[in-house]
Amino acid sequence: MPLVSRGQVEKGGGYVSTETVFLLKSRGLAMTAIASHECIISLGTNIEPEHHFAQALEILSRECELVARSEAVRTAPVGFQQQPDFLNAALVVRTSQTRDAFKAYLRDVEQRLGRVRGPIKSGPRTMDLDIVAWDGEVVDEGYFQYDYVRGPVDAVLASCHRALGGQAPQQP
């Protein structure tokens, strides 16, 4: 009897865990497996940061499968300095979407939170959501370049015993 190794399975418009799938399959009930991807998202906000951070967490935990999150940390702005400090964090989520579709989804969440992309690339924002890693591989060079990305990502990796691209899992 086939066993889905990871992810979620669609059942009547909702999702159930793969452990439930094994149980249902063992009872002779057929289900269709949905591919699942695990990704790490970097969050950053410096316009009403506590408010927008809470809203982003609520939206993402309601619309995605939230695996783990780092604590939020305050960081000084990089680049354009004449702006408030940022609140940064990282999340591990699972999604059935492709990477491009999930990136578009994150842009939609940013817009729902009032994000307007202005002329200053590193300027103030209500929310910045970036995919840092996809299925264990770093896809955003910001992880290697900026402590405000790497610190929360490393913290969330340690908290859920994950590693990126061949690295050993970190201890919390």
Predicted confidence band at 29 (pLDDT cuts at 50, 70, 90)?
low
Answer whether 18's CB lies under 8 Å from 8's CB: yes
| Residue spans in the chain of domains classed CATH 3.30.70.560 | 37-159
pLDDT per residue over 67-95, tens digit each?
999 999 999 888 777 888 889 999 999 99
Q: What is the mean pLDDT of the chain?
A: 80
- Tell me what the mean pLDDT of segment 18-39 comes to: 59
Active site residue 128: yes
- Spot the catalytic one: 6, 112, 128, 135: 128
Nearest CA to 108 out of 64, 154, 165 is that of 64
Q: Which is the catalytic residue, given 6, 27, 99, 115?
A: 115
- Under a CB-based contact definition with an 8 Å cutoff, are residues 125 and 48 in contact? no
Neighbours of 164 (CB within 10 A): 17
Q: Which of 125, 135, 147, 154 is catalytic?
A: 125
Arithmetic mean of pLDDT, 20-46 = 70
State the fold for domain 37-159: Alpha-Beta Plaits (3.30.70)
Strand order in the sheet with 32-34: 14-17, 8-11, 32-34
Three-state DSSP state, 150: helix
Instruction: Give the model confidence (pLDDT) of 138-169 as tens digits.
Output: 999 989 999 999 999 999 999 988 778 755 44
125 is known as an active-site residue: yes
